[in-house]
Every structure is written in C-alpha cells, then in structure tokens.
A and B are shown apart, each in its own frame.
Chain A
Amino acid sequence: EAGVAQSPRYKIIEKRQSVAFWCNPISGHATLYWYQQILGQGPKLLIQFQNNGVVDDSQLPKDRFSAERLKGVDSTLKIQPAKLEDSAVYLCASSLDRPNEQYFGPGTRLTVT
C-alpha cells in the first residue's frame, strides 16, 4: 500500500514570496491533515479535511495561508506572502476516519530567507 505522498521535499523562498505544497493521501483515507512542525516542537494542526469539507481550521493563519482539497483526494496548502517565522516542516497526514490513527507523509522543509 502506497503511503502519503508530498512534494516538494524542500523549498527555499524569500520573504513575501508565495509557495504551494501538494499532498496525496493513502488511498481510501477520508480525512486529511496539514501540520506545521517547528524545530523542537510537536506538530501543530493547521487544517483538517473530512472528504471535501473543512473540519477544523482554527489554527490556520487565514490572512496568509489557504488550503483546498478537491474531489476529496489530493490537497494543496499555500502560503502567500511568506514570513520568516513560516520556516518549518509542513507535514501532511491521512486517516481512515477522524481522529483515527494518522499516517504521515515525508514532509516539506520550508526555509524562508
């Protein structure tokens, strides 16, 4: 069974630029999550989708972050404009149902200079 796929794996951008991350969950997993993990901290939930709908986006900085999940499968997370404090690893995870066992993709390491 293929795992959660993410791309790109690494991204370096300058502040005020925009960036987008892509995630493809495990086949059949209805719930998809985007997390931000800053070095030395645990993952922080940014947004959670159940199929196409948003379940929780309370910690998503909506003035600069946006996410969508089209057709209940792939998802993209966008940051525009990026700030220095957005430097982190962005993790995508999926589960059969919420808040069941979650499986993580390899992550995207973002560096904002």
Chain B
Amino acid sequence: QKEVEQNSGPLSVPEGAIASLNCTYSDRVSQSFFWYRQYSGKSPELIMSIYSNGDKEDGRFTAQLNKASQYVSLLIRDSQPSDSATYLCAVANDYKLSFGAGTTVTVRA
C-alpha cells in the first residue's frame, strides 16, 4: 500500500465550478498535511497546510482533514484556467514528508 494515494485524474472541470481533490494516507500517526500546486515544468508551490480535523479556508481553497478516516481533501471553488496544474498531497510524520503522485486538474474555459 502506498503511503499517500490520490485520485488518479486527470480531472476536468468547467470554469467557475468546484474542483474536488481527494487524498488518503496509511500512517495513522501522521500529524501535518499539505497541498502543493505544481505547474507543468515548474517546482511544487505550497498552497495549503492543515494540522487539525475540520476545514481550513484560504481564499478559493478549502482543505478538509479527517484523521479518523485518514483522509484529506482540497476544494477549489470558482475554478479558473490559472488553476490548471497538478496538485500534490503531502503527509508528514515526526520527520518525513511523503508525497502522493498528484492529480492533474484542467479547467475548461
């Protein structure tokens, strides 16, 4: 079982819609959770971090964490063409950050 799994994608959404990205993790003692955005040919850019159960909102982005279900998600509201990228879920324990393979999102104008 992979440490961090994401829905395989690609995910295509119309402009203005909500994009929903999911991530599950295997290490129950994981403490910190991150979402990175990676444009094609660029390096990952941190867009959200979440540490406790519940929702965290930042602009058009909402991260949701459920530690009991070992599940973290990212919602992108009012999707824009500039949101077209690969989104990487990353999960940390005491010292190590593990990445999922990423979900590619395409926003159709």
Contact = CB atoms under 8 A, between A and B. Distances in A.
B99 A42 contact: yes
Interface string B79-96: 000000000101011111
Interface string A7-41: 00000000000000000000000000100000011
B49 A107 contact: no
Contact of B43 (A33, A41, A42, A106): A106
13 contacts: A42-B4, A43-B44, A43-B88, A45-B96, A45-B97, A48-B96, A56-B96, A89-B43, A99-B92, A101-B34, A101-B49, A105-B43, A106-B42
Interface of A: 33, 40-45, 48, 55-56, 89, 91, 98-107
Nearest to A109: B41
Interface of B: 4, 32, 34, 42-46, 49, 88, 90, 92-102
**What is the interface of chain B mostly: helix, strand, loop, or mixed?**
strand
A55 B95 contact: yes
A56 B49 CA distance: 23
B97 A99 contact: yes
B99 A43 contact: yes
Nearest to A35: B99
Nearest to A92: B43
Contact of A102 (B4, B94, B95, B97): B97
B34 to A, nearest CB: 7
B45 A104 contact: yes
Contacts of B49: 101
